[in-house]
Chain A
Amino acid sequence: MTQPRRRVSFSVLTLLAGVIALGVAVAMSLDTVPSEQEVEHRPIAVDSDGYVSSQTCQACHPAQYETWHSSYHRTMTQVATPDSVRADFDNVVVDAVAGTPMRLERRGDEFWAEFDDPGWEGPASERPRIIRQVVMITGSHYQNIYWYTTGHERALNVLPAVFLLEDQRWAPRSAVVLSPPHQGVATLDGHWNAICIACHTTHGKPQFETPFRSEPIASQAVATTVSEFGIACESCHGPADAHVQANQSPWRRYTLHLSGEPDPTIVEPTTLDPARSSQVCGNCHSVWEFYDVADERAANTDGLPYRPGDALIDTRFVAQPTANGTTPEMRALINADPDFVRGSFWSDGLVRVSGREYNGLIDSPCFQNATTAERTLSCFSCHTMHKTAEDPRSVDTWAATHQVSVGMDSNRACTQCHAEIAADLSTHTNHATDSTGSRCYNCHMPYTSYGLMRAIRSHTITSPSLQESVEVGRPNACNLCHLDRTLAWSGEYLREWYDLLIPPLDKDQRTVAASILWLLKGDAGQRAVTAWSYGWRPAQTASGTSWMVPYLGELLGDPYDTVRYIANRALQTVPGYEGLNYDFVGNRGDRLATAVDVITTWRNGTQSRARRDPQLLFNADGTLDTATMRKLFDERDRRLLFLRE
């Protein structure tokens, strides 16, 4: 009777041994990817302070996880891996940098770069070369900005060139932001750890030993950690550890499911009041500064104190020149940095750069004057962070179109409140109902902000007026579409249709197309957004394109890199110029030669004879009024401008 039992025991033991051997074999065959704690020379992702990371959220919220995972928020910051790096590093030489060309190299799954040492303070001719490993990437939609390990603890710095994803080319770091010519965009070792980390990661903690820039980086500890690279669940919902712990109880979960009550252990931004919910976005999408050095010092160590649901202004100074332009905080900021306001705002205080949409929202009448929460404009009135099942678009389309909610890319965004306008749209717009002139966005959110080498829609809801153009210099919606018309022309219609007064106009404003004034006389920001509109299809339909060539050609020689870039892209949309061979950061002589060639070709072709309107600066004989062009060019606003997108 005992022998069979022994046989069974032996069989069980054999089976167990087999399972263990299989487990060991599987474990040994896995790649030995070092854990984050083992990584020494870049910031690492670790759970801390109640943050648990999106991996924990995924199990219970798969749909929300999936839509977030497809968003550009997630890939705002990524560790450099073969999957995340979009540029070719395989023995590539990049000429688009100042000084000696940068050399890129793949070493297995690692990415390396050799370039001039940006920290060298000796004679330029003796600037040494350095070789560094690229470990981090910012951006995945329009640009890849690559960060290299400096070799000092977890401090990072940025490669001197940026990879433009649409163009599949490199460009100097200073050429992808609207910055004064020949002024490099300085970045110090530790710049990412101290500055970028705030809005490009979830719960970033710089963990500097001393305030950033107060002492040489090499002499201080830089133990930077994040909860997660990129903008993840807890950026908007707050730290989730308590939520996870509480909801391990199925009884609790089903009580909440069946009662429909909100879960007090987590923040649901869409259920906050409109002001607080928008502040969750405003945490990053606003122009802000620390109230004092102590706040900055605390953030340099432990990260920003704001948590979703908090009052944003309790934790930082949100700059809003229309409301707090004369406060001691703003005066202190301007004293320390005279261009603080001009770099982000138009002269009337409305924001003019991208990525700061919260500033636009809070200056909008739909936010300020609403009488009920339901009718108060918030970020979530038009955008959704999680594509819904009812949305027929692909998740990639939704992500690529700024996460606008289904239907909110149409007039419904406005008519959900302004139903009386929808009932008789053309009476309000004075344009055909199905035309782009009857799209609410085009008149009330025109493309007057600048960022990422393009114009973006203003997020301050305004109505077109000549005042904004005459007194502030901001292109008005009418003339951003009717590029071939004067301010006076728009003023007449605004007076006839909306009973608006026409402000005093000078001779040029009465006789020259407004867009030409902005292109020839405007500052670099005005030129950039106007040039972008020259390539905007609805404006081309309304205004024609044949007359644009000499003006865009003129901008091919603009001193600002980004203006040249935008002008070139606009020119490529004009029939006959699609394949134009032009490098916006190429040799200056080549650029000017191309500009001359473009204008000459146009002058000798049929396009130059298509329009002879005097407001487009054509003489009666069809030639260009170069004297007036020169006069306007001489009157250009040449104040140096750095737009802080």
Chain B
Amino acid sequence: MAPPTTSTDYVARHLSFGWWSLFVFLLLGLTLETMHGFKIGFYLDVSNSARRLMWTLAHAHGALLSLIHIIAALVLRTFPQIATAQRMVISRTLIGASVLLPGGFFLGGVSFYSGDPGVGITLVPVGAACLTVAVFQLARTSTDSTSTQRSGH
């Protein structure tokens, strides 16, 4: 699959990523709810409370980031004049955040040390940094593009 170059390519990428990601984390949520329903000790026991917290966070962050992808796609479609370099940064950091944040939480709950998550949790701050960059870029381009559109009127 060729890398995206046009605004339309990026819109398509993030709409696709967002919806499929939402589907994956919906399945994760369903799995977690099933474990609640059947009182699975692997997930619910107090001794596994770190796992429960980590996987809950993975589900929540993954689902929210999926929605952000869809919103980002709408922003990119609304403002097609955004520079290609900026689009690339937004896209890559957002996808990085979507993999690292929920992935770090999930791995942190796979194996853990009593109250401390496993070393997979180290992916989370990297993902958080990616998300910060992506959101900052989206905010900046939205502001700039709005101003440009207003001044154009």
- List residues of chain A with CB under 8 Å of any chain B CB: 59-66, 250, 253-254, 257-258, 389
Contact = CB atoms under 8 A, between A and B. Distances in A.
A113 to B, nearest CB: 37
A64 B119 contact: no
Contact of A59 (B48, B113, B115): B115
A65 B115 CA distance: 11
Contacts, number: 33
Contacts of B143: none
Contact of B114 (A60, A250, A258): A60
A62 B119 contact: no
B119 A258 contact: yes
Contacts of B47: 62-63, 66, 389
B144 interface: no
Interface of B: 45-50, 113-116, 119
B114 A63 contact: yes
25 contacts: A59-B115, A60-B114, A60-B115, A61-B114, A61-B115, A62-B47, A62-B49, A62-B50, A62-B114, A63-B46, A63-B47, A63-B48, A63-B49, A64-B114, A65-B46, A66-B47, A253-B113, A253-B116, A254-B116, A254-B119, A257-B113, A257-B119, A258-B119, A389-B45, A389-B47
Contacts of A257: 113, 116, 119
Given A62-B49, A62-B115, 15 more contacts: A60-B114, A60-B115, A61-B115, A62-B46, A62-B50, A63-B48, A65-B46, A66-B46, A66-B47, A253-B116, A254-B116, A254-B119, A257-B113, A389-B45, A389-B47
Contacts of A60: 114-116
Contacts of A253: 113, 116
A254 B116 CA distance: 9
Contacts of B113: 253, 257
Nearest to B122: A254
Nearest to B49: A62
A405 to B, nearest CB: 16
A535 B71 CA distance: 75
A182 to B, nearest CB: 50
A67 to B, nearest CB: 8
B interface, over-half SS? helix
A396 to B, nearest CB: 14
Contacts of B114: 60-64
Contacts of B49: 62-63
Contacts of B116: 60, 250, 253-254, 257
Contacts of A389: 45, 47
B83 to A, nearest CB: 28
A222 B132 CA distance: 58
Nearest to B46: A66
B1 to A, nearest CB: 38
A237 to B, nearest CB: 14
Nearest to A257: B113
B55 to A, nearest CB: 15
A619 to B, nearest CB: 62
Contacts of A254: 116, 119
Nearest to A387: B47
B40 to A, nearest CB: 13
Contacts of B48: 63
B9 to A, nearest CB: 36
A389 B47 CA distance: 7
A65 B49 CA distance: 12
B52 to A, nearest CB: 10
A60 B112 CA distance: 11
A66 B115 CA distance: 12
A217 B47 CA distance: 47
A532 to B, nearest CB: 37
Most chain B CB within 10 A, of A62, A65, A389, is at A62
Nearest to A62: B49
**Shortest beta-carbon contacts, A-B, top 7:** A63-B47, A60-B115, A66-B46, A257-B113, A62-B49, A389-B47, A62-B46
Contacts of B45: 63, 389
A257 B50 CA distance: 15
B69 to A, nearest CB: 29
Nearest to A66: B46
Contacts of A250: 116
Contacts of A64: 114
A12 B109 CA distance: 38
Contacts of A65: 46
A258 B48 CA distance: 19
Nearest to A69: B46
Contacts of A61: 114-115
A60 B49 CA distance: 10
Contacts of A66: 46-47
A258 B120 CA distance: 13
A374 B89 CA distance: 59
Nearest to B47: A63
B47 to A, nearest CB: 3
A179 to B, nearest CB: 42
Contacts of B46: 62-63, 65-66
A605 to B, nearest CB: 52
A276 B115 CA distance: 27
A63 B48 CA distance: 8
B151 to A, nearest CB: 15
Nearest to A58: B115
Contacts of B115: 59-62
Most chain A CB within 10 A, of B45, B47, B48, B50, is at B47
A394 to B, nearest CB: 11
A254 B120 CA distance: 12
Contacts of A258: 119
Nearest to B114: A61
A395 to B, nearest CB: 9
A254 B119 CA distance: 8
A454 to B, nearest CB: 32
A406 to B, nearest CB: 14
A143 to B, nearest CB: 29
B149 to A, nearest CB: 17
Nearest to B116: A253
A250 B125 CA distance: 13
A297 to B, nearest CB: 41
Nearest to A250: B116
Nearest to B42: A389
A69 to B, nearest CB: 9
A61 B47 CA distance: 8
Nearest to A256: B113
A60 B113 CA distance: 9
Nearest to A395: B46
A65 B50 CA distance: 14
B150 to A, nearest CB: 12
A52 to B, nearest CB: 15
A59 B50 CA distance: 10
